[in-house]
Structure formats: C-alpha cells, structure tokens
Amino acid sequence: MDTSAFDADNSVSCRLSSIIPDVCKTEDCCLGIDEAGRGPVLGPMVYGICFCPISKKEELKGLKVADSKTLSEAERETLFQKLDDAKGFLGWALHILSPNTISTSMLQRTKCNLNTLSHDTAIGLVQFALDSGVQLKEVFVDTVGPAEKYEEKLSKIFPGIDVTVRPKADSLFPIVSAASICAKVARDHVVKNWKFVENLADVDTEYGSGYPNDPKTKAWLLKYLDPVFGYPQFVRFSWSTAQTLIDSKAVTVHWDDDEEDGEKAAQRLANRSMLSYFSAPGGVTNPTQTHRFFTERRLKSLDTL
Amino acid sequence: MASKKKRTPNVQNDSWVVIAADSAVDSQRKDNDPTFVRLRNPATDAASLYMLSGGGGNLQLYEVKAFEEDFRSWFVGQTVQRDGRLLFVTQMDPLFLMLPYLIKSGKEGKFQRLDQMVMDEEFPACSGLLSCTRSLASMHHIADEKEVGSHKFHRYSQEKTMAWLKKKVEKTVLVLKKKNISVGEGVKSSSYIRVKLESDSSKEDYLGYAHGLISEYINKDLSKDLRHHLQLPELTSPKETEPASKKRKLSDKPVEALDDYTKFNSGDFARKPPKKMTAAQKNLAKVDKSGMKTMSSFFSLKVKAEKK
C-alpha cells in the first residue's frame, strides 16, 4: 500500500483511495466501514471503506477475508494485496486521521469527542463513495457507541440506503472485514514510516503497541515528554494517559477556557460580587478609574518591572 | 479532566518584551543608556514607571504602559517567557510630571527656582525631569517667568496651564478623529470593527473623550477645572443616572387581573402537543453535551468542591 501522500505531511488528515471499478457505477453495491487504531495513544486512526456489487458478494467470500484482528501482519498484507488486485469489482477508500487532528479536535474550544469524530469520518467516506458514482444500496458498519442510535443517524443522512450497524460487524460481513483489513494495513504502514516533524535526532521507536496500558508505551511517553511542549505530534494529547503525564511532569499551562471554580475565577478577574449589585448605590465608585481608552486596550501603568 | 491547576506566583522576570521608538533606545553615547525610573504619577500621586533616555543634552521622557491580559506567554528565540505582557515605551511631555510640583510651590505665590520646586524625597529621580530637553523651553506654557541676572525664576500660572491643557485636548481630538477611535457613549468594545464610519459622534463626545484621556496625566482638581474651562457638562455620577426603584402603584380602584388565566384551566390544555422547536432550539439540542455540567450543579454546596 502506498501511503506516501500521508507520510509527506502527517500533521493533517489524508484520504487515499483505489480507482472506482466501473461495475460499481452501474450495479447496486454494498459497502463496509471499519476503523483501525481507535484505542492507542500513539499514531493515527484510520477509517476504511470497501465496496463491491451485491452480486459479487460470493466472490468476496472466496478471497477468504476475515476479521483483521485474527490475522498476523503478514497475512493482512497478503490479503490486502488480493483485495487490491480485485480491481475489476472491488474498490476501497481510506481516511487517515492524524494524531494531531485527533488531539486538536478533542481539545478545541468546542469539544468534539472521539465518537463524533468517528461518525463524521465514516459519513465522509460514504459520501465520497456516493460522489464517485458508486450505486450504494447497502451499508454495513461496525458500531461506535450504541448501534441503534448510530444506525438511525446514518439512515437519516443517507435515505434510500439500507444501513446495518452491528457490533463485531467485521466478523459478520465479509465487506466489513475487507474494510477492516484496508484500514489496519494502512495504519501499520503509517506507523512504521512515521517521520517525526520534531527534531528528535535518533528517535527511539521502541514504543510497544501504542496502547495506554502497554508498559513500553508508558516508558516511551515518559522519555519523550518535553517540559514545555509536551509530546511530538505522534502522540494524541487528548488521551488521558498523555494528559496525566503532562499535568504531573510538565510545566503547567493555563488556557482561558480552563475549568475553574466560578467563585475563584471571579475573584481572579476582580469581578464584582453579584451581591454588590443589590446593595445601595454609592460607596462603590472607584476613585481612580482609568480612562476607557486604556481599559479597553488592556493597558495599564506600571510601578515596577 | 477537571483537575485543578495550581497557580504558582509569578517569579521575577529578567527580560521583557518592549516596543519602543528607535530614538528611545539608540543613545549615541554608550554611557547614556536608557534608564527606567520611578516617578510620581500626577494623576494617582503614586509611583509609576517612566524612562529617561538620550544623552548629550537631548534627554527625553518616556512613559511605560503594559498591555496585560490573562493567559499570555511569549516564545522568545529558544526560550519561553512566562510574563506575557507587552511593554510600550512612548514619548511624553515632561511638563505633566512637573505640574504637581509647581502647583504645590505655586500656593506660596512666589517666584522660585525650578530646582527648588521640583524636589521629592520619595522620588529623588524627579530632578532628572529638569534636564529634559523640552522642560525648560516650554515652562512658559504653565508658569510665569522672571529673569534675574543669569537665574530664571518661575511661578505656577493656572490661567496659562488651562490654555495649555486646552490645546492638548484639541490636539488629542484631531488624533482621535484621524485614528478613527470611537468615542461614542454606546460603544463598549474597541475590538468591534464598524463598517460605517461613525458620523454621529458629536464634537462634545470627542472633547469629553479627549478630556478623559488628558485627565490620565493630571490630578483630579485640575481635571475638574479643565472640564469647566472646556465648557463640558459636569459628569453625572452613576448614583444619579440610576433609575428610581420601582414602587407599587397605589390606587383606590379595585385590583383587576391583567391576564385571564382561567382559559388554561380547561382540560384539553394539558394535552396540547409540545410546541415545535425553532431552528435555533433544534441546533442547540444537537450540541455535543458530553462533559458539560448541568446548570443546577453550579448552585450546589461549595463544600464538596473544596474537599477535593
């Protein structure tokens, strides 16, 4: 698999796709969605779709695609090659969400949680297939969050398409298994080829599985914690593992949307107590009020440096 | 997520981010580096920071203002600076700082030598004001002058000072207009960018605003006198502008309900279907609420939070 488009700039998200087989544009098709790398604190999350004409479902079974989790890396690689070789009737597309995208989405002012991010990515890929002219009739999805809600959401967005959301869909429907293989292979490639934009000299790649509970991963996270900047972009800052380490080991950083106790924040901002508005006027006028030219511009005189 | 971060007190800085005119920091002679001095602020009567710069008989006074907002830090070269302030060093007329001393001495009504008037035990650096290039040459704006032999003597003149301050206000008005600074009463935010030019700001708005700005550099009494001199209306205190508290109207007529609530008493009222939500309400309902607190949680007892 060629992931060079993403490797060139791994701070943003990237879409990769096969050519769209001509039969998919004329015949009714089914589509499977699955993701890889949802849990790790390191590396990207990859969403994959696979689609083929409904009439070719049996042929897909012949490729013996199975749940990617039961396969070794080498087996996945060969299976992906088989899938990619079936260009005549099978198409795929991937959306690689860089760890940086995940961090910034989840930590931005209007928080976007991982489920929303996952849903939006899946929806984007289905839309991509539709826009490419694939005649979608059936969509199979491995669930994220409660299956019924997700199914309802997808059915509403794509009326006329039969949406099936099931937990463990990747072992139930071959088209979802195929999607899961594409996603997994892409994630493996990207992680292996990861180029750190940070100047880390000879970076130690012994970070284990990348999952938060892996001791190797934890040790790596401790090793590469910068007191000021935190982590390289390879790390998902929004993961509690990363956050806890940053909170305890790195310099404290305050943002203006940090949660703070109402009372304390008010005190800090020197706000007037609500009660003061109810007392009799007079006596509260500030004798040395700075002109609004300065207060509006946050300018003040200093008495010392 | 809700872990509370402790704020460590700001440690003393050894560097600052400063914006200053080249002329303020490029002194021709090495022995005359610009120096920060603490002088008496004429408006507050307390210490404020100023800068004296420029050697070789060309000493200038600068005031130091800090742009300060919460949650700001600097990246400077390869370092991080915790103090996110931006200091502005801007030129200032030394007469403003000398005025309080002259007014004080002026009460005696005698002509005096400047170096006898501009003295301050608390701020000995104030004698440096006399060396400023503009000081001696512009003393006639605020004081009567008398020359005896080679010595010059001065006496504070309220009349001259008012005329001088009026000119300052008028000059400020010109700058305010040129820089398109909104001076109207209703405008609260300076960051709000208006599409249409403000044509409704009256001459008086500008005068009042400029008077307020100049008042940042003179004491309260002088500010009051200047307001009078400019024929601006007296400032209304917030006490007067506050609306009178509402009192229940008393009347002899029998009290009658304004709304008829009985129509809601019929049985079918309760079974009315809920009203359709507006587009805005629908959008609100769709917002990702995970991690948000309920409104009621803000009103619970404080004790629990403190124990954490």
The pair of structure tokens assigned to A198 is 């940070």
Which whole number is the average pLDDT over B20-26?
80
pLDDT value at residue B192: 57
Distance, CA of B99 to CA of B220 (rounded, Å): 13
Q: Does A288 touch chain B (CB under 8 A)?
A: yes
Are B70 and A269 within 8 A, CB to CB?
yes
Tokens representing B236 are 């209304």
Contacts of B181 in chain A (CB under 8 A): 293
Chain B partners of A255 at a C-beta cutoff of 8 Å? Answer: 71
Determine how many CB atoms are found less than 10 A away from the CB of residue B229: 18
Q: A4-192: which CATH topology?
A: Nucleotidyltransferase; domain 5 (3.30.420)
User: In A, which residues are within 8 Å of B241 by CB distance?
Assistant: none
Name the closest residue on chain B to residue A285, using Cα atoms: B238
d(CA A175, CA A53): 11
Report the pLDDT value the prediction gives residue B4, as an integer from 0 to 100.
47
Q: Does B3 touch chain A (CB under 8 A)?
A: yes
- Report in angstroms the alpha-carbon separations of B150 from A102, B113, B306: 79, 12, 73
Query: Residue B242's pLDDT is what?
Result: 46
Residue ranges per domain, chain A? 4-192, 215-296
- pLDDT of res. B170: 93
Q: Which residue of B has its CA nearest to A110?
A: B288
CB-CB neighbors (< 8 A) of A303 in chain B: 38, 46-49
Question: Of the candidates A18, A32, A37, which has an alpha carbon nearest to the alpha carbon of residue A190?
Answer: A37
Which of A:114-153 have CB within 8 Å of B? Answer: 116
- Residue A187 in contact with residue A181, Cβ under 8 Å? no
pLDDT tens digit sequence for A242-266: 999 999 999 988 888 776 555 555 5
pLDDT tens, residue by residue, B234-262: 766 544 444 555 555 555 666 566 666 66
Least confident window among A122-126, B51-55, B236-240: B236-240
The yes-or-no verdict on residue B213 having pLDDT over 90 is yes
Q: Tell me how far apart the alpha carbons of residues A156 and A151 are, in angstroms, rounded to a whole number.
A: 9
Q: Give percent above pLDDT 70 in chain A.
A: 89
Selection from B159, B161, B165, B179 nearest residue B213 by Cα? B165
> Exposed, middle or buried, A14 (CB in 10 Å: 0-12/13-18/19+)?
buried
Tell which B residues from 143 to 172 touch A, by Cβ distance under 8 Å.
none
How many beta-carbon contacts under 8 Å exist across A and B? 96
Mean pLDDT of A266-292: 57
How far apart are the CA of B246 and the nearest CA of chain A, in angstroms?
14
DSSP, residue by residue, B3-30: PPPPPPPPPPPS---EEE-HHHH--SST
Residues of chain B with C-beta less than 8 angstroms from the C-beta of A290: 216
Contacts of A271 in chain B (CB under 8 A): none
Average pLDDT, chain B: 78
Stretch B7-21: mean pLDDT, rounded?
70
Q: How confident is the model at residue A160 (pLDDT cuts 50, 70, 90)?
A: confident
- Asked if B48's CB is within 8 angstroms of A301's CB, the reply is yes
According to the model, what pLDDT value does residue A193 have?
Answer: 84
Nearest CA in chain B to A256: B71
Confidence of residue B270 (pLDDT cuts 50, 70, 90): very low
Q: Do B3 and A247 touch (CB under 8 A)?
A: yes
Query: Which of the four pLDDT bands, split at 50, 70 and 90, describes residue B276?
Result: low
Angle at CA of residue A42, ends A40 and A47, nearest 5°: 65
Q: Could you read off the pLDDT of A170-208 as tens digits, one per residue?
A: 888 889 989 999 999 999 988 888 888 777 777 777 888
pLDDT tens digits along B161-198: 999 999 999 999 999 999 888 887 655 555 555 555 55
* Beta strand pairing call for A29-36 and A136-142: parallel
> What was the pLDDT predicted at A283?
41
**3-class DSSP state for residue B216?**
helix
pLDDT in tens, B67-92: 998 889 999 988 899 888 999 999 99
Closest-CA residue of B relative to A117 is B288
What is the number of other CB atoms lying within 10 angstroms of the CB of residue A51?
Answer: 30
What is the rounded distance in angstroms from the CA atom of residue B165 to the CA atom of residue B133? Answer: 20
CB contact under 8 A, A305 and B291: no
Please list the helix, strand and coil fractions of chain A in percent, rounded to the nearest 5, in that order.
45, 15, 40
pLDDT of residue A103 exceeding 90:
yes
Residue A275 touches partner B, C-beta closer than 8 Å: no
Which residues have C-beta within 8 Å of that of residue B270, sequence separation ≥ 6? none
Q: What is the pLDDT of residue B301?
A: 63
The complex scores an ipTM of 0.74
Q: Give residue B240's pLDDT.
A: 45
A296–B contact, CB cutoff 8 A:
yes
Residue A214 annotated as binding site: no
Evaluate whether A238 touches A102 at the Cβ level (below 8 Å). yes
* B41 touching chain A per CB within 8 A: yes
**Across-strand partners of A136?**
A29
pLDDT in tens, A23-80: 888 889 999 999 999 999 999 999 999 999 988 888 888 777 776 677 888 888 888 8
A85 marked ligand binding residue: no
State the distance between the two ends of chain B, measured CA to CA, in whole angstroms.
14
Instruction: Provide mean pLDDT across the span A98-104.
Output: 93
Chain B window 262-281: which residues touch A at a Cβ cutoff of 8 Å? Answer: none
Q: Residue A303 is nearest to which of B16, B48, B237, comparing CB atoms?
A: B48
Residue A273: how many CB atoms within 10 A of its CB?
A: 11
Q: Tokens at residue A59, please?
A: 């042929």
User: Which position has the token pair 């990515």?
Assistant: A121
Contact A299 B88 (CB under 8 A): yes
- How does pLDDT run across B128-149, given as a tens digit for each residue? 888 887 777 889 999 999 988 8
| pLDDT value at residue B265 | 57
Assigned token pair, B221: 């009494």
- State the average pLDDT over residues B103-132: 88
Residues 174-203 of B with CB under 8 A from A: 181, 189-190
CB contact under 8 A, B238 and A269: no
A299: left (phi over 0), alpha (psi -120 to 50) or beta: beta
The mean per-residue pLDDT over the stretch B265-282 comes to 58
The DSSP string of A127-187 is HHHHHTT--EEEEEEE-SS-HHHHHHHHHHHSTTSEEEEETTHHHH-HHHHHHHHHHHHHH
A142 is in an annotated binding site: yes
Q: What is the mean pLDDT of chain A?
A: 84
Angle between helices B94-106 and B158-178 (to 10 degrees): 160
Task: Mark yes or no for CB contact B290/A254 under 8 Å.
Answer: no
How far apart are the CA of B13 and the nearest CA of chain A, in angstroms?
A: 8
**Chain A residue numbers touching B5 (CB-CB < 8 A):** 247, 252, 254, 258
Size of chain B, expressed as the number of residues it contains? 308
Structural element, H or E, at residue B213: helix B203-214
